[in-house]
Amino acid sequence: MSRPDVVDSVAELRARIRDWRRDGQRIALVPTMGALHDGHLSLIKIALERADRCVVSIFVNPTQFAPSEDLDKYPRQVARDLDMLTMAKADLAFTPDVNEMYPPGFATKISVGGPSAGLETDFRPTFFDGVATVVAKLLLQAAPDFAIFGEKDYQQLCVVKQLCRDLDLPVEIIGAPTIRDAHGLAMSSRNAYLDEAELQTARQFNLILRKAATALAAGAGQEETIAEASRALIVAGFQKVDYVEARESLTLAPWRHDRMGRVLAAAWLGKTRLIDNVDVSTA
């Protein structure tokens, strides 16, 4: 199995992609912050079903972390990541450093409205500005035909789609289903922070959200159902629930029963914050 080439400058990235384009090849980008797991591998698989070449960016983006968050602690394991990319048959890894992405004097911030309102933004007010800024840069640097984002970060996926629509970025954004362990826990690089007892609790997260989504789909009252899900998370062992909310699937506006819906939640287990979401119609 051949290892993917690794480039760490925008100039090299563009040169590689220019060569592929000259041969008429289609390019997919999978943006990541590294610490790759099966969820990322599923994104690469989808990328390679659509495109001839898959570029994976690995960049722990400082602008999406608040000063109080886990930027320093965020798992970094590039050698292992490259092994995973070899297995997944990715063609190229783009591993810029902070200076390459944000050189001295960098002074631009992209702020997306619409689906960024509420949910994560209530608790991480600068998060989506950081995500939108880095994703816009990556999309302009690689200029791919497709970019793949996991539905695990559902609000992020909606924000990225809005960004591309509003700025006429010529890329198709593809949402990929969440990959879960045998107990329903969504794969996340932050699961690495959980001890055994926390892992047991974390595995109830999706079950509780699915129960709420099933109740909503069957016509149960929204307020009671959401309150019950929050209570159930605390009973399961989560220390704090940031939010449990039902939103419209496409716009993330408050959900009404005649619309496609999504239940989204964030909750704390010790020092680890987990997020997950489920579809109301298929729960």
How near is the Cβ of 195 to ligand PAF at its closest, in Å?
23
Specify whether 37 is catalytic: no
How near is the Cβ of 220 to ligand PAF at its closest, in Å?
32
How near is the Cβ of 14 to ligand PAF at its closest, in Å?
19
Exactly one of 44, 134, 265, 280 binds ligand PAF (CB under 6 A); that residue is 134
Q: Does 155 bind ligand PAF (CB under 6 A)?
A: no
Q: Does 119 bind ligand PAF (CB under 6 A)?
A: no
Q: Does 33 bind ligand PAF (CB under 6 A)?
A: yes
Q: Please count the residues of the chain.
A: 283
Write down the catalytic residue from 37, 40, 183, 257. Answer: 40
Taking the least distance from each CB to ligand PAF, the nearer of 136 and 216 is: 136
Q: Does 112 bind ligand PAF (CB under 6 A)?
A: no
Q: Does 131 bind ligand PAF (CB under 6 A)?
A: yes
Total Cβ atoms within 10 A of residue 87: 12
Q: Interface residues for ligand PAF in 162-221 (CB under 6 A)?
A: none
Give DSSP secondary structure letters for 135-196.
Answer: HHHHHHHH--SEEEEEGGGHHHHHHHHHHHHHTT---EEEEEPPPB-TTSPBP-GGGGG--H
Q: Does 31 bind ligand PAF (CB under 6 A)?
A: yes
Closest residue by Cα to residue 50 from 179, 144, 165: 144
Taking the least distance from each CB to ligand PAF, the nearer of 10 and 217 is: 10
Calculated CA dihedral for residues 226, 188, 180, 281, nearest 10 degrees: 40
Q: Does 153 bind ligand PAF (CB under 6 A)?
A: yes
Q: Are 197 and 270 a contacting pair, CB within 8 Å?
A: no
Closest residue by Cα to residue 36 from 24, 28, 44: 44
Query: Which tokens is 89 given?
Result: 């048959």
Residues at the interface with ligand PAF (CB under 6 A)? 31-33, 61, 64, 131, 134-135, 153, 156
As annotated, the active-site residues are 40
